[in-house]
Amino acid sequence: MKHFVIFLAALATISCSSRSAVSVEQLPDAEGRVARVEPLSWWTDMNTPLQLLVNGEGVSKYSLSIEGGKGVKVKTLHKADSPNYIFADVEISESAEAGTYYLVFSDGETKFKYPYEIAARREGSAARESFTTADMIYLLMPDRFANGNASNDSTNATAEKADRNEFFGRHGGDLQGMIDHLDYIASLGATTIWPTPLLLDDEPHESYHGYACGDYYHIDPRFGDNDLYKEFVAKAHEKELKVIMDVVTNHCGVSHWWMKDLPFKDWVHVFPEYTGTNICFSTNMDTNAADYDLHIQESGWFVPSMPDMNLNNPFVLQYFKQWAVWWIEFADLDGFRVDTYPYNEKEPMSEWCSAIMAEYPSLNIVGECWTSSIPQLAYWQGGNNNKDGFDSNLPAIMDFPLQEAICHALSTDNPGWGQGMTRVYDCLSHDFVYHDLQNMLIFAGNHDMGRIGDVVRKNPGRLKIAMTLMATMRGIPQIFYGDEMMLCSKDLSQGHGGLRVDFPGGWAGDKVDLFSESGRSGLHKELFDYSSRLFQWRKGKSVIHNGNTLHFMTRDNTYAYFRYDDTDAVFVYVNNSAETKRVPWSYYAEICVGLHDGCDVLTGESVTVSDDTQVAPYSAFVVEYKR
């Protein structure tokens, strides 16, 4: 009997050993039981906590572990309101090795696996540099820039099909078109590219702009795919061009996959009936503002097709933190531009910025804070001494007040008191309000406003003035694609659809090709050469990147200023009037005494400026000196 008991015990041991010997690789695959896991992958040696969103029919009934390697484990599982989600906090130890791990699901009877990649982090990734005042940013809309692959203009998997004749339709521009014309962007003197969003936007109408995201982890197939996006960034880097990703944390699109089954009831802001934002940014800092008005500003939907994300939900906030980090790491990005920044809940967005900067201390992030109020704009820049103690942790802001002043000046023929170029002077006289002038993004136009060519009513001289201001003023300049050659709206009555024109030469069969040097002639060549000369020169000018500004008051639609440091000075004189003007050089005696070796930046010729120097109507004069 004793021997029989020993035999049974041994048999049991063998049986258990046999069961435990089944490797995780031998478990059946998820086979449709897991629809998606986000982030799509992760890396070793990261600071950002990893929380997996797992989505699948009834997936919350399963326990979840991570197997297939050492140093990676599930710490905590969180169930959502919907039974079709699990949120898993994952711990990756310092000793964890890169490789393929497996998410193992079990309900006690059924067990299956889902592969998950944890890769080795790119060397030096955390220390990556970003865009600064030494850069010029070229903003383009992928759908309207160049069509490098006509086969993906429409796809079976996406709702809206391409029709180049539709003002608000898809025209077919894509990532391959952007790759094909990197040399053009570099030849202009740009050093950084900002494409409007490239992620899936599957709205049935007007989806070309990309601001109604349908999937935060996949490039829209009409632009290409994730691998092609990574290739675009790599090829841009080969040409010494940085890449900024345009991100939207405030809202998604109604066609986003999760809108059919929200993880939590408060994943997006929900009202008894549709409620739009009141667009009252002042409620964020106004000590007299009603809480209700602030609530509607933060929580109201941008438009009916763009549900407002609830960043006060900690799972939503964590989702967007690691999503941003994932794209930086995956694609090797150089910075972010954040759309509709003040529409977000400000405290969670401050935490979002802080989390990204903790992972990438030198990364720059610029926020779209569209306001004409200089004090309200300054409020949003990180480090500002706000009365309420709020710190956005947002490094850079877009200078909308300066853009407004420039465009008003360049569209005015007979300015009244305080108008014309005096508005530009007045705008810069408020620079004392800002915390960090180095991190102001300056621009004359972008994808949401009238093209500068339309603003100046096709006056090439005033277009050149705009480019001169962008190349020489404080801050980080941004140019909207085609503005360098005064592209104008196709039809002003069509608003955004009319101003977001196709770049000539970006489509097979275009009669004009402005991408190629041989295709540019006449005014197009003149304007391109002017802008290229300025921005190529700007690249190596520390006095422009980091110098101080000294400007002088006049009220005759001219504007004069110096950019200077201890060794160099650049003099800029703008004549925005219809009359030839004499430069009042002696008026600038406090700085011009001692300047020498004057060189006209635009001609390369030596020049001596005096009270007799004349500047033609609608033109700018730029001279660099040694001090």
What CATH number corresponds to the domain at position 622? 2.60.40.1180
- Whole-number pLDDT of residue 22: 59
> For the stretch 260-293, what's the b/e string if a residue is b when 16 or more beta carbons lie within 10 angstroms of its beta carbon?
eebbeeebbbeeeeeeebeebbbbbbeeeeeeee
| Bridge-based pairing state of the strands 85-92 and 50-55 | antiparallel
Please say whether the beta carbons of 181 and 190 come within 8 A: no
Confirm whether 3 is domain-assigned. no
Q: In terms of domains, do 365 and 414 share one?
A: yes
Confirm whether 293 is domain-assigned. yes
Q: In terms of domains, do 533 and 604 share one?
A: no
Residue finishing a domain among 121, 139, 166: 121
Q: What is the CATH number of the domain that holds 79?
A: 2.60.40.10
Stated pTM of the model = 0.95
Confirm whether 16 is domain-assigned. no
Q: In terms of domains, do 536 and 566 share one?
A: no
For the chain, how many structural domains are there in total? Answer: 3
DSSP 71: S
- Whole-number pLDDT of residue 23: 87
Residue finishing a domain among 477, 508, 540: 540
Confirm whether 6 is domain-assigned. no
Q: In terms of domains, do 256 and 136 share one?
A: yes
Name the stretches of the chain with pLDDT < 50. Answer: 1-21
Confirm whether 10 is domain-assigned. no
Q: In terms of domains, do 376 and 463 share one?
A: yes
Q: In terms of domains, do 290 and 363 share one?
A: yes
Confirm whether 14 is domain-assigned. no
- Whole-number pLDDT of residue 7: 40
Q: In terms of domains, do 535 and 554 share one?
A: no
Residue finishing a domain among 106, 121, 136: 121
Q: In terms of domains, do 107 and 139 share one?
A: no
Confirm whether 17 is domain-assigned. no
Confirm whether 386 is domain-assigned. yes
Q: In terms of domains, do 553 and 441 share one?
A: no
Catalytic residue numbers?
339, 368
Q: In terms of domains, do 67 and 113 share one?
A: yes
- Whole-number pLDDT of residue 12: 40
Backbone angles phi, psi at 127, to 5 degrees: -95, 10
Q: What is the CATH number of the domain that holds 211?
A: 3.20.20.80
Q: For residue 112, give the nearest of 185, 28, 194, 55 by alpha carbon.
A: 28
The secondary structure element, H or E, covering residue 403 is helix 400-410
Residue 434 to residue 35: CA distance in whole angstroms: 47
249 is in which domain, residue-wise? 127-540
Q: In terms of domains, do 131 and 117 share one?
A: no
Q: In terms of domains, do 511 and 580 share one?
A: no
